[in-house]
């Protein structure tokens, strides 16, 4: 038995399946052979009656063909007579069974002898008719007809007696067949139940180690590494997996012990690293915010002085007030975070200042979703982007230059788009700006406030996403769009 359970799972399952099917096949073969034997016996019960009926029909056919020939004397009737006579001769020969004292056997022999005598009489009648001996063929015809009637009555009596006897025999066989049928069903049911019980027991013995392994695996999965490890009674695939599982649990327990010894040191190191990273980010934000382009301050103040000389006090006041609001925003907002609404207001003031400097050449459009104005974002982000669009996009376009600012929602993001219709930017330069490879000298010569590279770095630090800023351009001469994505949550 142990030799069987040490076999591979596939061989064990195939062996059980083949054994069960072979047993059922053998039982079915014996049942089918028994049923066929009894069915053959039942079929042969009325064989004697069928034989007598065929003989009676053949006898009648000979009598009719003889009468037809005597009345018409045609070749067809004569040929029919010979064929029917030969058939009757053959059937009569089949009645020649072994000599016994049984009445049915004696009666069959009598029928055979009378049938032969009848055929002789009929033959003589036909020969006399062909020889035109009227008196002789009439005598033979009457004798043959009388013998025909006697044989017919004799066959009918024997047929009735045999039918009664065969009916009793058929009843006995039918009863025996039903008994055999019930016995066959019982035997087949017992065999199937025995197979099922055997398979359940054997498969259960095969699966029990797997159940123990599954139970231990659930305990380990729940974190209980002190659970009782399953045994390996057999050397099949389940035994191999169980041994490997036990080794794995022991290794994990040892690994956990080693990890616990070093966790406290690692935790302290991680806390120090997080503190250093937080200080580094704070320093980066403050450093990036501290960069202000002095050229813009100079140009705006110069334009204010010129306007004061050329125009009246009202416009000068409005312009100076706008400039004051613009710089007041920078002085006031030492915090790293402001609202989208505050950044949009700063852009509005910035555009007003530029339109004073450039005589209103810049066309400015806004499409703002008011519901998104309270969302927080880093300060001094939109103004540098707009400044970059003016300086590098539309400055040389005169009054044809246009800046469009859009604030809208897309999925779970608040999107801020700054779009111009200027000279555009190449894909190579876009990639250099986004990956931070734009050189410091190039940034210094941009004169665009804090600079695009610094703005992108601040937004990525603020959102924690690399795709916080994207730049789109159809190519040189086809404008440019800077798109900012701020998480709504």
Sign of CA dihedral 150, 154, 160, 166: negative
Token digits of residue 120 = 């002789």
Q: What is the pLDDT of residues 23-65, one digit of tens each?
A: 777 877 877 777 777 667 666 656 777 777 888 888 888 888 8
What residue ranges in 147-201 does DSSP mark as E strands?
Answer: none
Residue 142 to residue 144: CA distance in whole angstroms: 5
- Average pLDDT value for residue range 354-376: 86
The pLDDT of residue 87 is 87
Q: What is the pLDDT of residues 303-329, one digit of tens each?
A: 665 666 667 656 665 666 666 666 656
Name which of 107-116, 190-199, 203-212, 336-345 the model is least confident about.
203-212
Contact (Cβ atoms closer than 8 angstroms) between residue 153 and residue 141: no
CATH topology of domain 2-206: 1.20.120
Q: Is the pLDDT of residue 363 over 60?
A: yes
- Average pLDDT value for residue range 350-357: 84
Q: Is the pLDDT of residue 160 over 60?
A: yes
Q: Is the pLDDT of residue 161 over 70?
A: yes
Sign of CA dihedral 140, 146, 149, 155: negative
How far, rounded to the nearest angstrom, does the alpha carbon of residue 311 sit from its chain's CA centroid?
81
Q: In terms of pLDDT, which residue wins out, 317 or 421?
A: 421
Tell me the HSE value of 138 on the side-chain side, using a 13 A CA sphere: 3
Q: Which residues contact 245 (CB under 8 A, 6 or more apart)?
A: 213, 216, 217, 229, 230
Q: 123: buried, middle or exposed (CB in 10 Å: 19+, 13-18, 0-12)?
A: middle
Q: Is the pLDDT of residue 234 over 60?
A: yes
The pLDDT confidence band at residue 142, using thresholds 50, 70 and 90, is confident
Q: What are phi and psi of 348, to 5 degrees?
A: -60, -45
The Cα angle at residue 219 between residues 214 and 224, in degrees rounded to 5:
150
The pLDDT of residue 443 is 47
Token digits of residue 104 = 């049915």
The pLDDT of residue 366 is 93
- Read out DSSP for 215-262? HHHHHHHTT-TTSPPPP--S-SHHHHHHHHHHHHHHHHHHHHHHHHHH
The pLDDT of residue 294 is 44
CATH topology of domain 291-487: Heat Shock Protein 90 (3.30.565)
The pLDDT of residue 304 is 66
Residue 188 to residue 182: CA distance in whole angstroms: 10
Q: 479: buried, middle or exposed (CB in 10 Å: 19+, 13-18, 0-12)?
A: buried
Quote the pTM value.
0.41
Q: What is the mean pLDDT of the chain?
A: 77
Q: Which residues contact 300 (CB under 8 A, 6 or more apart)?
A: 323, 326, 353, 357
In the numeric block, the tokens 């169980």 are attached to: 242
Contact (Cβ atoms closer than 8 angstroms) between residue 380 and residue 330: yes
Q: What is the pLDDT of residues 442-470, one digit of tens each?
A: 544 444 434 788 888 888 888 888 889 99
Sign of CA dihedral 162, 167, 168, 170: positive
Name which of 196-210, 343-357, 370-384 the model is least confident about.
196-210
Residue 480 to residue 234: CA distance in whole angstroms: 74
For the chain, report the end-to-end CA distance as a whole number of angstroms. 67
Q: Of 44, 22, 41, give the one whose Cα is nearest residue 33.
A: 41
Residues facing 486 on adjacent strands: 414
Please report which helix (H) or strand (E) contains residue 403, including its range: strand 402-410
What residue ranges in 18-86 does DSSP mark as E strands?
Answer: none
Token digits of residue 393 = 């996009």
Q: Of 322, 327, 382, give the one whose Cα is nearest residue 352.
A: 322
The pLDDT confidence band at residue 343, using thresholds 50, 70 and 90, is very high
Residue 408 to residue 369: CA distance in whole angstroms: 5
The pLDDT confidence band at residue 99, using thresholds 50, 70 and 90, is very low
Q: In terms of pLDDT, which residue wins out, 163 or 275?
A: 163
Residues facing 485 on adjacent strands: 415
452 Ramachandran zone, left/alpha/beta (phi>0; psi -120 to 50)? alpha
The pLDDT confidence band at residue 247, using thresholds 50, 70 and 90, is confident
Q: Is the pLDDT of residue 406 over 90?
A: yes
Question: For the chain, what are the domain ranges?
Answer: 2-206, 291-487
When mean pLDDT is compared over 91-105, 326-340, 432-446, 452-466, the highest value belongs to 452-466
Token digits of residue 450 = 């804090």
23-28: list long-range contacts, CB under 8 Å, 24+ apart: 23/191, 23/195, 24/188, 24/191, 24/192, 24/195, 27/187, 27/188, 27/191, 28/188
Antiparallel, parallel or unpaired: β 363-368 and 413-420: unpaired
Percent of the chain whose predicted confidence (pLDDT) is above 70: 75
Residue 91 to residue 85: CA distance in whole angstroms: 10
């Amino acid at each position: 038995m142990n030799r069987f359970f040490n076999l591979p799972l596939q061989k064990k399952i195939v062996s059980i399946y083949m054994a069960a099917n072979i047993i059922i096949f053998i039982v079915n073969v014996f049942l089918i052979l028994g049923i066929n034997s009894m069915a053959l016996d039942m079929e042969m019960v009325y064989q004697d009656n069928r034989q007598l009926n065929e003989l009676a029909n053949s006898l009648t056919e000979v009598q009719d063909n003889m009468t037809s020939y005597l009345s018409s004397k045609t070749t067809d009737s004569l040929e029919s007579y010979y064929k029917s006579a030969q058939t009757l001769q053959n059937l009569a020969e089949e009645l020649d069974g072994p000599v016994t004292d049984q009445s049915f056997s004696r009666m069959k022999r009598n029928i055979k002898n009378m049938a032969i005598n009848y055929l002789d009489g009929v033959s003589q009648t036909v020969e006399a008719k062909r020889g035109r001996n009227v008196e002789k063929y009439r005598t033979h015809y009457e004798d043959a007809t009388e013998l025909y009637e006697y044989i017919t009555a004799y066959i009918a009596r024997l047929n009735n007696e045999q039918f009664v006897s065969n009916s009793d025999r058929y009843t006995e066989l039918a009863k025996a067949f039903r008994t055999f049928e019930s016995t066959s069903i019982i035997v087949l049911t017992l065999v199937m139940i025995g197979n099922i019980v055997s398979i359940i027991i054997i498969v259960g013995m095969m699966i029990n180690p797997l159940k123990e392994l599954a139970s231990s695996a659930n305990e380990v999965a729940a974190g209980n590494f002190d659970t009782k490890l399953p045994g390996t009674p057999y050397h099949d695939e389940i035994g191999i997996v169980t041994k490997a599982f036990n080794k794995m649990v022991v290794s994990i327990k040892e690994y956990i012990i080693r990890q616990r010894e070093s966790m406290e040191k690692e935790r302290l190191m991680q806390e120090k690293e997080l503190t250093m990273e937080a200080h580094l980010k704070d320093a980066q934000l403050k450093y990036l915010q501290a960069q202000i382009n002095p050229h813009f301050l100079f140009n705006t103040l110069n334009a204010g002085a010129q306007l004061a000389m050329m125009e009246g006090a009202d416009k000068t006041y409005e312009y100076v007030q706008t400039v004051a609001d613009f710089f007041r925003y920078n002085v006031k907002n030492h915090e790293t975070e402001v609202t989208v609404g505050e950044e949009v207001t700063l852009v509005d003031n910035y555009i007003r200042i530029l339109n004073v400097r450039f005589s209103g050449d810049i066309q400015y459009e806004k499409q703002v979703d008011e519901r998104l104005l309270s969302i927080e974002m880093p300060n001094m982000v939109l103004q540098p982007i707009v400044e970059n669009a003016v300086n590098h996009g539309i400055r040389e376009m005169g009054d044809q230059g246009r800046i469009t600012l859009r604030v809208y929602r897309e999925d779970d993001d608040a999107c801020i788009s700054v779009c111009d219709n200027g000279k555009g930017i190449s894909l190579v330069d876009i990639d250099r700006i986004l990956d931070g490879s734009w050189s410091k000298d190039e940034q210094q010569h941009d004169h665009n406030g804090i600079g695009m590279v610094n703005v992108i770095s601040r937004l990525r630090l603020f959102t924690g996403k690399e795709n916080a800023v994207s730049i789109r351009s159809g190519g040189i001469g086809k404008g440019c769009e800077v798109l900012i994505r701020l998480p709504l949550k």
